[in-house]
Amino acid sequence: MEITLNINHSMHHVLIRPDEFLLDTLRNMGIKSVKKGCDTSSCGICAVSVDNKLVRSCAYYSIRAEGKEILTVEGIREEASLIAEFLTGEGVEQCGYCSPGLVMAIYTMKHELDEPDIESIKHYLAGNLCRCSGYEGQHRAIMKYLEVK
């Protein structure tokens, strides 16, 4: 079936299967920042923004996204680039596989949390797993980024 999706500020007519998840649709379109990490919607690697809410694209039907604004790191280049400066400044991106999902989570967190502190940040990002970093460096980077904002 054909649907129209608003992805990264432009409209796309895409052919999908009715049961297709947004993760597959985006990857098939060449948006490779969105990655798969598990089979059970547990890791947050595939996180994208839909109407400024964080969703797991592996468990979000593409058809549900019609009429909504879908953002990946490719669509928030300036903001993502700034977040990237702080993450890489701590050396905490490591293998980088979870980074685009984390960046999107930080992006929506900033919209959703009024005065984020370390506890509310940890709660918000709890679903974004990382096996390389031990998280402490991520938290250092995020606190510095939020101070600048």
Partner 1 sequence: MGVNQSVPKIDGKGLVMGKAAYTDDLAPENSLIVKVLRSPHAYAEIMSIDTSEAEKTEGIRCVFTYKNVPDKIFSRAGQGYPEPSPYDKKILDRFVRYVGDAVAFLAGVDEESVDEAIAKIKVTYRIMTPIIDFEKAKDSKTIVHDEDHTRSMFEMGHEPSRNIAARYAMEIGNVKEALKSCDIVHEGRYYTQAQAHCTMETHTAASWLDLQGRLVVMTSTQTPFHVRRILAKNLGMPISNIRVIKPRIGGGYGGKQCIHGEFFVTWVTLHTGLPAKIIYSRKETFQSTYTRHQMRIDMTIGAMKDGTIKAINMEVLSNTGAYGEHALTVLMVVGSKTLPLYNKVEAVAFSGDVVYTNTTPAGAYRGYGAIQGNFALESAIDELAEKLDIDPVVLRKKNMIHLGETSKIFEVMGEGQEGTPMTIESCELEKCLDICLEKLEYFEKGKSREISPHVVRGIGIAIAMQGSGIPHIDMGSSILKLNDDGSFNLMIGATDLGTGSDTIMAQIASETLKVPMDKIIVYSSDTDLTPFDVGAYASSTTFISGHSTRIAAENMIKEIKEAAKLQLGSNQVEYDGMIITSDKGDISLSELAEKLYYSEHQKQLVSSGSYVSSTTAPPYMAGGAEVEIDKRTGQIKLIRYVAAVDCGTTINPNLAKIQVEGALLQGIGMAMYEDVNYSDSGQLINNSFLKYNIPTRMEVESIDVSFVESYEPQGPFGAKSVGEIGIDTPPAAIANAINNALGVRITRLPIKSENVWMKLNHN
Q: Which residues bind partner 1 (CB under 8 A)?
A: 31-40, 42-43, 45, 72-74, 77, 80-81, 83-85, 87-100, 103, 122-123, 125-139
User: Which backbone phi and psi does 127 adopt, to 5 degrees?
Assistant: -85, 0
**Three-class secondary structure assignment of 62-122:** HHHHCCCEEECHHHCHHHHHHHHHHHHHHCCCCCCCCHHHHHHHHHHHHHHCCCCCHHHHH
79 burial (CB, 10 Å; 0-12 / 13-18 / 19+) is: middle
- By beta-carbon proximity to partner 1, the closer residue of 34 and 54 is 34
- By beta-carbon proximity to partner 1, the closer residue of 63 and 129 is 129
Residue 56 corresponds to which tokens in the numbers above? 């797991």
Within 13 Å, how many C-alpha atoms sit on residue 107's CB side?
Answer: 30
- By beta-carbon proximity to partner 1, the closer residue of 67 and 110 is 110
- By beta-carbon proximity to partner 1, the closer residue of 49 and 128 is 128
